[in-house]
Each structure stands twice: as C-alpha cells, then as structure tokens.
Structure 1
Amino acid sequence: MKLIFLLMLGGAVSLVLVAYFLYRYIEPKLPDIEVLRDARYQTPMSIYSRDGLLMAQYGEKKRTPVSVSEVPQKVVQAFLAAEDNRFFDHPGVDYQGLLRATFSFLRTGKKKQGGSTITMQVARNFFLSSEKTFFRKLKEIVLAIKIESELTKQQILELYLNKIYFGHHAYGVVAATQVYYGKGINELELDEIATIAGLPKAPSAFNPITNPQRATIRRNYVLKRMRKLGYIDDHTYQELINRPVTAKLHTTPVELYAPYVAELIRNEMYRQYGEAAYTTGFRVYTTIDARLQSAAEKALRLALHEYDERHGYRGAKQRIDLKKEKRSEDWDKHLSKIAKVGETVPGLVLAIKDTSAEIYLGNQQHVELDWNGLKWARKYINANAQGHQPRSAREILKAGDLVRLRKDGNDRWKLSQIPEVEGALVALDPVSGAVVALGGGYDFRLSKFNRATQAQRQPGSGFKPILYATALTHGYTPASVVNDAPVTFSDPSQAGGFWRPQNYSGRFYGPTRLRVALAKSRNLVSIRLLQSVGIKKTIDMATRFGFQPGELPRSLPLALGSGTATPLRMGQAYAVFANGGFRVEPYFIERIETDTTIFRATPQIACANCTESDDRRKNFAPRTLSPQVHYMMNSMLQEVVRTGTATRAMALGRHDVAGKTGTTNEYKDAWFNGYVPSLTAIAWVGFDSSKSLGKGETGGKTALPMWMHFMREALNDVPEQTFPLPSGLTVARMDPSTGLLALPGSSNAIFEVFPSERAPRNYAAPPVSQLPASEFGEDDTQLASPKPPPIRATPERPIESLF
C-alpha cells in the first residue's frame, strides 16, 4: 500500500515537473498578451459618398466590431450555452471539460467533445495556427491562462465576439447577423440568435444557408442548453424549436451606384497601403455628391442610348423556338442567363401585332410594347446609313426573339439594345477641384476601363479657349479681327504632301472677330492665331491650365486640339474659366477614418478676392488668368452658347451657362466642355476603338445632350451667378464691321469688352449714302470723330445685359 502511494506521489510530482518544464519552455516563445488590449480586427474598407451613402466595400472578411456592452444579454447567453457555460467561473481552462473530452476520446477513439473554452478560442484565433497537434494545444492552454491573468472576462468575451468566424466571410457576431438575417444585433429573434451562436463550432457544417437541416439541429441544441441553464423557460423552448430556419444570404447594400469612382478609390488606397487597405477598416469619404452622381449616371446612359437609336437597330442576338419551349418555366430559364445591363432588361417576344408586341420579362410579367417604343428601330447598316423607316412591328421583331427593353422618360417600355458607343461625364466643384460626379462608361460590368480618367482622346475644338486665352493675354481683344481664309502647309504625312485645314462647313468667312470665331469654332482663324501668338506661349499657357507637355504637339494642328486629354483633364482646364481664373487640382477623397480621422483633404481654393498679403495664401490656388482676361474669355464662352455651336444649351433657361463644343477629325470624338460659376462638367462620347461616330455627330449634337441632361438636374434650384466687371476693362458700343465706335442710332451696333487701353477711340464712318455731298473730298480718312466716354456697367445695368 505504501509502495502504491509512493508511486502515485512520484507520478504526480513527475507530472507537475513535466508541466512546469513544459511551461518554462513554452512561455518565453509565446506572444505578448498586451497586443490584445489594442486588438486590430481585419475589417473591410468601406467607401462612401460625401453625404454618407455606401458606394462599395472591399475586403474578404466582413466585420463590424462591437463593444461587449452593446451586445444584448440573450446573445451572450446563447454563446455561453453553446460554447462555454462555465466561462465566468474557470481561469481560462475548463479542466472538467478537458477531462470529459479526454475520457471520451480514450473510450471511443474519436474527438466527439471539445475542451476549448472561449478564452482558448481567443488564444487560437489571435495567435495560433489551426493545426491539430498536442504541442499547439499546450500552447493554447498556456496562452489562455496568461490571457485570463491580464484581461477581464468582459474584455475576453468582446475579443471573442468580434473575432470568431461564422461562415460566408462573416467575422464577428455583428457581421454574422447582417450576412444571415440582414438585421442589426438588437433586432434578432431568439431562434435567430441561437442559429448564429451554433455556427462557431463548425461554420460550414451548421451553415443555415447551405445546410439548413443540420443548422436546425444545432440551433435546437443551443436552445436546449439555454433551457437547461435557465436562460429560457420550457414554453419558449418548445415554441422556438418548431420554427423554420429563415436565414438567407444578405450582402451589404450599396446605397449609391458609382463603380468607376469606387474602383478609382480602391486602387489609390491599395497604392498607399497595400493589402492593409482591405483589412484595416478604412472608411473613405469621397467628394462625390449622391444626387449629382445619380444624375450623371442617368445622363450618360441616356445620351448613349439616344446616339445608339439614331443609328438603327442591330437586331436580336438570340432566339428560341416557342413551338418547342411553351412554358414560362422554360422562358424564365433563358432569361435568367441574360444579365440586366445598364438601363436595359432582357425580354422574350411572345406575339406580334401590326404596331405592337407582347414581351415576357420573366416571373410571370408581361408587357405590351406599343409603336412609340418600336418605331425608332430602323435597321442598322453602318455609322452613316440606316434602313428605311419601319411600317410595322413585324419588320422589326419575330416571335421567339430575345431582346432588351428600357423605360423611356415617360416610364414607358421601349425596345432597346446595349450601346456599342461609350462615353464619360465628370463634374467638379471649380472652386476646390472636388470631383462631385463621375461616370466612366455605360456599365462597369461590361468594361472596367474608366474613360473619365484613363481615356486619352483628342479634345478637338475644346482646346481652342486655351489658345484664345493666350492671345488675349498677349494683346488681342475679343474684337480683334483675323482672316478666315484658305491656308496650305507642307506636310509629307498628308496626301499630296500638303495640309489644307478647313472649317466644319467647308466654307471660308473672311475677316472675323475673335468672339465670332470662337463661337462658330472657325478653324482657320485658330490656326492663324496660333501662328501669331506662337506655339511655345500657347503650350506654356496650357500647362498653367493643367495640361502636361507630353499631351500637346508642338505643331500647328495644336490649334485644332490635336493633342490628347482625359475628360478629367478637360474638367480641370475649364474649372479655370468657371472659378475666376485659378488652377485647381481635382481630388476625390475628402477624408479617411479608422478610429480617428487619419487624412483630411486640404485643397487649394480659388479665391478671387484674396491678396498676396493674406496669411492663408498658401491654401489659395495659383492664378492662371488675370481677372481681365478671365472676364473676356467667360463672355466669349457664353457667346458659344448664345449664338454659336452650343445654342441648344439655351434650353436650360440660364444666362450664366458657358462652354465649348469639340469635334475631332472624322467625328471620332464628340465633346461638350461647359460650366456655370458653381459647377464644371465635361461630357465625351466616342468609340473605344476610335472609329467614326458617323457624319454629323458633332459635339453639339452628340455630347451636349448628355451635359444638358445632367445640368438640368444638377442646377435645379441653383441661382445664377455672374462675375463682376474688373477694373481695367471697358465696355464699348462698337461697329462690328470696323471695330470702331458705333454711331448713335446704328442698327447693327454691338457691345464689346476691351482692356481699357485698347478700347476704340474713334467713331466708324457712316455709310456713304448718309453723308451730305459737301462732306465728300479728296481725303475721306478724317471722317471719324473723337470718342465719347465709354459705356460702363452699373449695378442697375449689369454687364451681362449688354451682351
């Protein structure tokens, strides 16, 4: 007996010594528990509009950390019942549970019971791998004991609830409630709580979406444990175990569709932070305005459909045999394989009448497509040719055609197709450079290429205002006359070895004032103006607008916009005209937050009234144009809208709209670059392959409608703004044919603005028929008389009323 006692004592001592030495061996190799006091959960990056609407989330692990004090008591009780009911009693290791698990394993040879406590699971999830070895288990036990000695039970429970994996990329209890039920943690029913609490043991095996039967068994086990522990009564238990499992997959709802912006931000965040961008829980607030972004997406798609429909219907791409497939279930199967793209949805033609068709949209939804929704569909031949105007629906559709429909502006269905043409629209605050809306293409799912920021296209006549601003800076005025006449240049790259530029109309108009030349987009005037001003000065000016030297050719075609620019670059350039003459830098990110704000944008602001002595001058944008040149250019760009190539913009009913159309050779690019003082917007339309849009598809016809669709919404309730006449300018009533002062009573007189030192001083001669015979002599050069004081704007008669 004594021998047995000594053997048992020796064995116990040996076990203690072995445990001690194992502890001394393992303990120094263990990580520092202090890191748990500042635990960093792998949380996805969320991107928001400036008004707080979610635009996108990036990161494999869905997680929303929560304080344990915010977790409802029933949720805590469910997890304790499922995982560790003695959590608040043991020191990190439940020796009773370990012994039960050990005896079960020795008896059956199978691991049926788990011995891990919540604390041990925290140790494993934060510090250890998932390998199943004896040595890892020892480290887990030692770590659990250390964690319990340094953290409170509440801290440990909080770590657990935020770290544990629940399946479907959901980490943490809050993410699980969203993924499986689309609810907040305080909105869950008790049976839903039990379902979620049952997941950590085996998220794939007990998943309520992929395996609802096993999920039900596991849920009922958790409820049974809750009843046994006194957390719920028997009546509640009996009611809950008979409920069906109602979980289904819920993705985080995107509240604002802006995929091109979201991808732009994602790429920039990855460039700055690497993989940590997807796990650090960054909340990125962009400069995007939700209302304007929605308007931009809608305007872009509508303009592309308008262009597409002008050029004809390309026909159905797929057909099914309605004699063989007669059931709606068959039709649904085909339609389910065709994705909704842009504004279009798939449909199946079931029957055709003379001027209408019955279309099946799936899920038992039938619509009648009337003639107003069909009559546009002339057959597409090429960009310059379409078939005859259809006379009946049978010329357009056949029963069995799989087609696409979209809603028109009156919410009526219309036959449609996915446009092959592409476009971009970008809008920015000209004062700060904040990009408030951006559309990079028809549909991000079709093409992730962002045409607003990546498409280097020829700006065409949209570049001319930069040239004209250079000319005004170097002594020209809006009334300066340049000859619009044929000109020929030697150019071996052209047919015949010569370049003979022409105006869009093919005509030449002779001596033309710069105001008229810009409004009518006269090419020959622009070329002669560039010859006069010089390529170097023009490129220097363009770089002050934001263009890069590599984007600009050092040759005369520069005058016609033969360089390259993205729509965003054009937005930066035209912001100079919109903000009073300052160069601002476009930006997209307003601030970045984690637990605190780690970045906040501090853009340089356009400030017309700021002085060099202002203490905040470093935050002000550099001036590109003098106030005088800016004022003259703004009035000339308004002339483009009033009398030039963008007159349809007058339909907006505003007097502060200004801008410039742009059309490139062979109609490959169509632009409208426009603004009001509070908003700059650029619209571009073209093919990615740079093929022709078709004869007559100019900036004013193709791109301007997109700009107007957007601005009509963007400027709703926005008051008109004007620029005050700066000192150093004079407004004179002049004779347009001579550039001299107009005689009183002249019927063709116009008002023009001049630098005061260059304003006309003499009257134009009256027509010869109006002169008395006694005034004719040998020298008629003295007919002009001294100039009276110039006409000036007053508060009662603002300058805009003079033009």
Structure 2
Amino acid sequence: MAGVAVMTAVAIAGFAVAVYAAWLFHDMPDGSELADFHPVTSARVFAWDGTLIGEYGQERRIYVPYSRMPTRVTQAFLAAEDRNFFTHNGVDVSGVSRAMAKNVFNLLRGKRFEGGSTITQQVAKNLLLNNERTVGRKLKEVILARRLENSLPKEQILELYLNDIYLGYRSYGVGAAAFNYFGKSLDELSLSELAFLGALPKGPENYRPSTHKAAAIARRNWVIGEMLKAGWVGRAEAEAAMKEDLVIQDKPRRAKYQDADYFVSEVELRAKRLFNDAIYTDGYYVKTTLDPKLQTMAREALMTGLETYDRRHGWRGAWSNIPVTDTWEGEAEAAEDKLPESRRAPSERPNWQIGLIEKSSGAVRAIDGGHGSIRGDDLAWAQATRGLKAGDLVYVSEDTKGVYRLRQVPKVNGSLVAVDPYSGRIVAMVGGYSYSLSKFNRATMAQRQPGSSIKPFVYAVALSKDFTPASLVDDGPISMMGGDGKQWSPENYEHDYLGMQPIRRGLELSRNLMTVRLAQKVGIKPVTQGIVNFGVLDKMPNEMSMVLGAGEVNPYRLTNAYSIFVNGGRKVKPHLIDEVQDRNGKVVYKADERVCPSACTADFDGLESPRLQPQGDVVLDPITAYEVNSMLQGVIQRGTGAAARSLGIPMGGKTGTTNDYRSAWFVGYTAELVVGVFVGFDDNSSLGNHETGAVAALPIWMDFMKNANAGKPIRQFNKPKDAVYMSVRGMEEAFKPGTEPKYNAAPESDDGPKPYLDTWTDDGDNGGPVTVVPAEEPPPPPKKRQAEDATPLY
C-alpha cells in the first residue's frame, strides 16, 4: 500500500508539473520572430551637408548595425555583462553558479540578488517577456534564450542587445548613449568613455556622473580591468584610461546644431503628414534642404534686427526689483522663475545673464560673479524713459572687462525665409525671435497683410496683357465704389500726385494710384487669378483693395512666389524635405519628382552630360518675368529699397507696409537666392509711425544678404535670349518681339527737331490701353520721397 501511495503521489506531482509547464509555455513566443525585429528607433534629421539638426522619437535611439559597431564597444559590454557570450549556448552555467554563490552573501547583507543572466537571456527578457521576478519568468527566459541561440546568429543577438538596452540619460542603445553622454559617435569614443557605457547596464541611475561620480568612475575602471583580463586592451592603455576624469554633457542634446529649431519643428509636421506616427518609431533618415551656415546667419540677422527695432522704442524698465544684498543670486533666480516665458532671456543668447543694479548711476553685479557698470550709451537709453534704480533686476551681457550692455527681450516678432528660386528648396527659415520663448512659426503659420509687397504680381499680370515697359500710367486721383458699397478713394503714401509716369516708376516708387489704375485697365479678375496662379495664395477676392495688399499671406509662400521673377517664370514648389530613407537606406520619399533620362545610368562617354528639365511649371512668360525683375532691380537702384544699393550686388526687391504700420516687409533676391523678411507684433498692433518696410524689415534683409554673399563671385541675372532690348527714357527695357516701341516714319517735309517723346508710339500693334504723354506736357520729375510705401487705404 505504501508503494502504491508513493507511485500515486509521484504521478500526481508529475501530472501537476506537466500541467504547470503546459500553462507556462503555451503562449511563449518563438525566438525566430526576432529575426526581423527592430526596436523603436528615432527619426534623424539632417541638413543638406550632413549636419545632424534634430531627432523625433518616442525613445531616443540610434540604431547601429553590428557591422558598424566598433569592436571595443562590444568588448566593453561583453567584459561587463557576459565574457563567455560567443562560447555558451544561451545559458552560462558557470555564470549562474557564481551568481548563486554571491546571492548567499547578498541575502545575508540584504542586497539585491544577481540573476547571472547572459546577454541572450537579457534579450529574451527585454524583448519577449516582462520584468516580473518569478521562477516561472526565469524558466521562460532560459527556454527562450536557447530558442534564440538556435534561431539567430550570435552577432544578431548582440546587435539587438546593444541597440535596445536602456542606458539612462534618455538613451536607448549604445548609439544614442554615446551621443547623449559625450556628443560623439561610437567610433569617436575613447577607451575611458566606452568603458563607462559598458558599466551602465547594471544600473544607469546609480552611475550617473552628475550625481554619483565616484561610483561611476569606480565601475568604469572595473570594466577596463575586465577588458584587461580578457586581453582586449594593453596594461599601459588601461592604466592611463583609469586615470582619466569622467566628464559628460550637461544635458542630452538632440543635436549640436541649435540654430534651426523652427525649421526642425516644421519638418516634423510635414514628415508626420507623409508617414503618420511611424516617423517616431521606424528610424527614418530625413535629409532636408537646410544650409546650416545660411541658417545661422538668418537667425542672427533676425534677432539682431528685432532687438534694434525694440531699442528704437525705448527701455521698458527692469523685470523685477529686490534688496541689494551679498546673497542676492537665489532671490534673483526665484524672481526670474516667476516671469512669463516670453520675458525670459532667450536660450539663443547664451551670453545674456541676470544683472543686479546696485546704484542708479549704473553700477551692476552679474550673476556669474562679475561686476562693473552699464555702458554709457545704454545707461542714457534707459534714463531717457523709465531709468534704473538700486535693486533692479535686468539682463546684461559683458561688452568689455567690467563694462556691461543692457539687454531687453523684444515684444516685436517676425520671420525670415530664404529659398533657392530654381528648385524651391528652403535653405534657411526662422519663424520668430526665439524658439525658446515662442514655438509659433511666423514664417509658415502667420497670415498677415503683405501691403505693397504684393504689387510686383499686379505688374506681372499687366505686362503679360497689354502693357509694356514703355507704357505710361496716370498717377492721379481716382475714386470708385468699393466692395462694401462705399466710395473708395485710395491715396499714395506721400498724399501727392505725379501725373503721367512710366510704368517702371510706379513699381520703383510704389505708387498706389498707378497700381490701382493698372488693375482697373486689366480687370480685377485677371489680376487676382494671376496672383493665385503664381502661388502667392490659394484664393483671392475680386476686390480692388487686394492689389494694394489687403489680403492675407504667409511669408513662406510670398517669398517663394518671388522666385518666378528670377527663374524665368516658373512656379516651383517650396519644400523643406529633400529625401527620406528608411532604416535600411531605401528611398521612400523624394521631393524632386523629375525623371532622369536613360543617359543618366549609361557609362560616361566623354560627351555632354544628360540634362534635366528645369523644375516647376511655367506660369509667366520668361520675358515678362525679366521685365518685372528689371523693375524690381530699379526699386534697389532708385526706389524704396535704395538703402540696399550699398551692398554692391545685382539684386531686386520690394518693400511692403500696411495700414497703421501694422506689418513691415521686404522680399528681395539675387540671381541665386530669394529672401523674405516680415516684422510685426503677434497681436497685429502698430509698429509705430514711419516703421515702414524700408525701416523695419530691409535692414534685416541687408544684414543677412551681406553675410550670405560675402566672398562669392558676383552673378548677373539671366536675360531672355529672344527678348528685344531697347533704351526707353534712358533705361534698358526688355520687350516681347513685336511689342517694342517703333520710330515714327520721317515726314516728307522736315519741320525741324521733334520732342523726345514724339518719336515713340506706345500703342503699337497691341492696341492696348496705353497713354502717351503729349510732347508739350513732359512727365514732371518725381517729388522727393519722405518714406516708403505705407498704404493707408483699406
């Protein structure tokens, strides 16, 4: 009976074990499914020259294939975690035994148990199981480790491990850890640095140098010692590495390049439209159109220009006031924390710091320990309005030793967009004064009235109809019924009239009345439809006030639309993303949709290389585009943009100012680059009297263009070969063949010399609505302009 009972108990126990095993392993995954597994990987964003400018991801991870992994990096992790990795079959019996022996002492000391898990077991646990600490989970881990070893090569298991493991400091995988801790790629790490990364799997937070530096160095040196025991490093090199300090970056950085925050944010929005949430998980490589050098110039030009505008409008006073004591720093930082984000020092100005005014005479202490006085002209600037008093907290930057500049965060804002006119590639874009203070991108999201910067498109439509560069237009009073049923009587900015003027002067001097008459002659519907066709905006009301800038546009599209005047009338698609590759390097998106002819893939035969068609659709006759281009060059030479003439570069452009000086614009170009600048308050309040496009926006444009063109050869604009070029009133003008002015036939009886204008006929064969000034009434000379083209009309 006893034997039967024992047999029964054994059978029941065996059955129970079998049931438990069946329950335990019934839903275990097959290790082979990891053959195509890729952990969640950040998208990486690059400028056109390969500079890393940003990342998007749920987990900050840079996936590095095993073949690209430096040998010493793998050796550091093997030394720390699993030296026998390449010889065991998934479970290291000797390692488990050592762990069990250590756990006896850990139990007595109240320390956490060691698992003795191999790298293969850690991959099985991290990717296929959970973190529960049970016997069942450990058994699953062992079984899965064996399955993984049978399904995948050792190198692939190690690749999965090194790319998936969390190493602290917002770092998933060794690639991200190298970048976040040291700002380097894996192949740039020193022995000391890669050994530190190898020390982290045991407990990243326990070895963070900023909080546990001694423990981090000790653990790093232990890893170096294990590498020495394994024969992977020499003794002299190991000892030298152990003596090195451990210095990491003050915080994980998305990228070393920090001047493109608005650009990177906009790329994220557009990439998400293309790939949805996969942009955050699937490890895309995003190649953008950004030129880092131009972008840095653009950010600096816009910030400096807005600060200059702000300075013109006076010192607004200190942002707080505290008692002057020897321990003022803590109270000052607490006061700054209470400031609205928009009033704090921008991160883009790292040399700004908190200053404490000791005396109204300008004595100041800086929070970095420096002290001195406010520069004389800055002190006078402050005293002209609210002044300074003891205890005032202000922002300062050191100018020279002991002399400080007084700084103020501007309330005004703006944007700058630079585009390649032949491809639509956005090479630089700044959406505001400071991304750290405001994430709103005024280049792409703001809708503002363009004022007179819309006029070139009105002239383009007129020149494509019946007008020519020889046409004269009346700059006289005009009155008509507005769209609201009320009488509308537009005026020029100067409130004067110049009478009959060459069409060129209407654009150069931004004459409102001439522009309205052009639109009236052509018809408002063709004008507004033409502006839509040029890509300025998607739709436009058929109202006459639109031709003076009453509609709303964004700087991104307006700037790009000016490209038609440079590239020969082609409407190019503006874009920030050139190409996107998946994690395997396959191109999954390309902005340039042109198809290269078969000659592109043929062997080079020494003859002419294949030619691609220019990008974009033709929306304006090339000769008409050049006619407007020539007139906009006149804006720089003789018109409202004359200040830019000092740059000495062939260029054209147009100013723009709206009602009550609410928005100021300048959009201009060289033969290689189109750049638009907008300045205005976010609440659309007035910039102040006489803050026109020429005053507020043009200096920013000039600052950027001066730096962008420094050292470059001067390039002239392309002139259409089939145009007819003639001198009209002392200016070379381009004409479509057949539209050029004709000399009158000489009369049979010579009555003597004729006035200059009598030798031309402007109506020609076109029969267009062109007015010629009678010989006895030559056009009066333009009156001296007092300011640029504000349009107080609508």
Q: Tell me if both proteins adopt one fold, taking TM over 0.5 as the criterion.
A: yes
2:52 to 48, 51, 54: 54
Structure 1 gaps, min length 5: 380-386, 388-394, 606-613, 735-748, 791-803
Change (3 A) 1:96 1:341: closer
Residue equivalent to 1:259: 261
SS in 2 for 1:511: strand
How far residue 407 of structure 1 moved from its aligned partner, in angstroms, is 7.8
Aligned length: 736
Kindly provide the amino acid, as one letter, of the partner of residue 204 in structure 2.
Answer: P
1:526 to 491, 498, 515: 515
Residue equivalent to 1:628: 623
Is the 8 Å Cα contact of residues 585 and 603 (structure 1) preserved in structure 2?
Answer: no
Residue equivalent to 1:608: none
Structure 2 gaps, min length 5: 339-343, 595-608, 765-794
Residue equivalent to 1:760: 741
1:94 to 2:54 alignment: no
SS in 2 for 1:200: helix
Change (3 A) 1:561 1:615: farther
Kindly provide the amino acid, as one letter, of the partner of residue 141 in structure 1.
Answer: V
Change (3 A) 1:694 1:64: same
How far residue 52 of structure 1 moved from its aligned partner, in angstroms, is 1.6
Residue equivalent to 2:469: 478
1:488 to 2:492 alignment: no
Residue equivalent to 1:743: none
Residue equivalent to 2:443: 452
Is the 8 Å Cα contact of residues 730 and 755 (structure 1) preserved in structure 2?
Answer: no
User: Mapping of 1:152-191 within 5 angstroms?
Assistant: 152-183=153-184, 185=186
Residue equivalent to 2:364: 359
SS in 1 for 2:628: helix
Q: How far apart, CA to CA, are the structure 2 residues paired with 1:628 and 1:489?
A: 33
Change (3 A) 1:765 1:671: farther
Kindly provide the amino acid, as one letter, of the partner of residue 476 in structure 2.
Answer: A
Is the 8 Å Cα contact of residues 285 and 589 (structure 1) preserved in structure 2?
Answer: yes
Please identify, of 580-589 and 108-117, the stretch whose mean Cα deviation from structure 2 is larger: 108-117
Kindly provide the amino acid, as one letter, of the partner of residue 57 in structure 2.
Answer: G
Residue equivalent to 2:527: 538
Is the 8 Å Cα contact of residues 312 and 378 (structure 1) preserved in structure 2?
Answer: no
Is the 8 Å Cα contact of residues 568 and 623 (structure 2) preserved in structure 1?
Answer: no
Is the 8 Å Cα contact of residues 342 and 443 (structure 1) preserved in structure 2?
Answer: yes
How far residue 314 of structure 1 moved from its aligned partner, in angstroms, is 0.8
1:79-100 superposed Cα distances (whole Å, 9 cap, x missing partner):
4454334434432123455577
Change (3 A) 1:48 1:89: closer
Is the 8 Å Cα contact of residues 346 and 402 (structure 1) preserved in structure 2?
Answer: no
Q: How far apart, CA to CA, are the structure 2 residues paired with 1:602 and 1:643?
A: 39
1:292-324 superposed Cα distances (whole Å, 9 cap, x missing partner):
1111111111211121111111111112221x3
1:646 to 2:637 alignment: no
1:414-443 superposed Cα distances (whole Å, 9 cap, x missing partner):
323111111111010000010111110000
1:722 to 2:717 alignment: yes
Q: How far apart, CA to CA, are the structure 2 residues paired with 1:578 and 1:332?
A: 51
Residue equivalent to 2:489: 500
1:370 to 2:375 alignment: yes
Please identify, of 199-208 and 416-425, the stretch whose mean Cα deviation from structure 2 is larger: 199-208
Change (3 A) 1:554 1:713: same
Q: How far apart, CA to CA, are the structure 1 residues paired with 2:165 and 2:144?
A: 17
Is the 8 Å Cα contact of residues 53 and 256 (structure 1) preserved in structure 2?
Answer: no
Please identify, of 273-282 and 230-239, the stretch whose mean Cα deviation from structure 2 is larger: 230-239
Change (3 A) 1:539 1:9: same
Please identify, of 575-584 and 535-544, the stretch whose mean Cα deviation from structure 2 is larger: 535-544
Change (3 A) 1:408 1:556: farther
1:310 to 290, 312, 315: 312
Is the 8 Å Cα contact of residues 226 and 232 (structure 1) preserved in structure 2?
Answer: yes
Q: How far apart, CA to CA, are the structure 2 residues paired with 1:38 and 1:549?
A: 45
How far residue 74 of structure 1 moved from its aligned partner, in angstroms, is 5.9
Residue equivalent to 2:553: 565
Is the 8 Å Cα contact of residues 584 and 604 (structure 1) preserved in structure 2?
Answer: no
1:679 to 673, 688, 697: 673
SS in 2 for 1:263: helix
1:346 to 353, 356, 377: 353
Residue equivalent to 1:416: 407
Please identify, of 749-758 and 481-490, the stretch whose mean Cα deviation from structure 2 is larger: 749-758
Is the 8 Å Cα contact of residues 209 and 248 (structure 1) preserved in structure 2?
Answer: no
Q: How far apart, CA to CA, are the structure 2 residues paired with 1:319 and 1:296?
A: 35
Kindly provide the amino acid, as one letter, of the partner of residue 680 in structure 1.
Answer: V
1:390-420 superposed Cα distances (whole Å, 9 cap, x missing partner):
xxxxx732233222235899x9953231111
Q: How far apart, CA to CA, are the structure 2 residues paired with 1:193 and 1:296?
A: 38
SS in 1 for 2:664: strand
How far residue 648 of structure 1 moved from its aligned partner, in angstroms, is 0.7
1:670 to 2:675 alignment: no
Change (3 A) 1:439 1:408: farther
1:284 to 2:275 alignment: no
Q: How far apart, CA to CA, are the structure 1 residues paired with 2:42 and 2:70?
A: 24
How far residue 138 of structure 1 moved from its aligned partner, in angstroms, is 2.9
Is the 8 Å Cα contact of residues 474 and 533 (structure 1) preserved in structure 2?
Answer: yes
Change (3 A) 1:222 1:259: closer
CA RMSD of aligned residues (A): 4.3
1:166-222 superposed Cα distances (whole Å, 9 cap, x missing partner):
222222234334434445546666665554334323333444444446546655765
Q: How far apart, CA to CA, are the structure 2 residues paired with 1:729 and 1:782?
A: 21
Q: How far apart, CA to CA, are the structure 2 residues paired with 1:707 and 1:71?
A: 46
Kindly provide the amino acid, as one letter, of the partner of residue 388 in structure 2.
Answer: L
Is the 8 Å Cα contact of residues 46 and 56 (structure 1) preserved in structure 2?
Answer: yes
Please identify, of 277-286 and 455-464, the stretch whose mean Cα deviation from structure 2 is larger: 277-286
Kindly provide the amino acid, as one letter, of the partner of residue 663 in structure 2.
Answer: D
Is the 8 Å Cα contact of residues 30 and 147 (structure 2) preserved in structure 1?
Answer: no
Change (3 A) 1:602 1:76: closer
Q: How far apart, CA to CA, are the structure 2 residues paired with 1:564 and 1:133?
A: 65
Is the 8 Å Cα contact of residues 322 and 331 (structure 2) preserved in structure 1?
Answer: no
1:436 to 2:427 alignment: yes
1:324-344 superposed Cα distances (whole Å, 9 cap, x missing partner):
345677767877996445447
Residue equivalent to 2:498: 509
Is the 8 Å Cα contact of residues 81 and 229 (structure 1) preserved in structure 2?
Answer: yes
Is the 8 Å Cα contact of residues 179 and 249 (structure 1) preserved in structure 2?
Answer: no
Q: How far apart, CA to CA, are the structure 1 residues paired with 2:756 and 2:490?
A: 40
TM-score by length of 2: 0.81
Residue equivalent to 1:793: none
Is the 8 Å Cα contact of residues 27 and 142 (structure 1) preserved in structure 2?
Answer: no
User: Mapping of 1:193-342 within 5 angstroms?
Assistant: 195-212=196-213, 215=216, 249-252=250-253, 253-322=255-324, 324-325=325-326, 339-342=345-348
How far residue 352 of structure 1 moved from its aligned partner, in angstroms, is 5.2
Residue equivalent to 1:583: 571
TM-score by length of 1: 0.81
SS in 2 for 1:405: strand
Q: How far apart, CA to CA, are the structure 1 residues paired with 2:187 and 2:464?
A: 66
Residue equivalent to 1:143: 144
Change (3 A) 1:25 1:706: same
Residue equivalent to 1:740: none
1:207-264 superposed Cα distances (whole Å, 9 cap, x missing partner):
4444446546655765776788787899999998898765565523422411100001
Please identify, of 272-281 and 106-115, the stretch whose mean Cα deviation from structure 2 is larger: 106-115
Residue equivalent to 2:777: none
How far residue 20 of structure 1 moved from its aligned partner, in angstroms, is 7.2
SS in 2 for 1:301: helix
Is the 8 Å Cα contact of residues 335 and 346 (structure 1) preserved in structure 2?
Answer: no
Change (3 A) 1:306 1:95: same
Q: How far apart, CA to CA, are the structure 2 residues paired with 1:179 and 1:420?
A: 34
Q: How far apart, CA to CA, are the structure 1 residues paired with 2:62 and 2:415?
A: 35
Which structure exhibits the higher relative contact order, with contacts defined as CA atoms closer than 8 Å and separated by 6 or more residues?
2
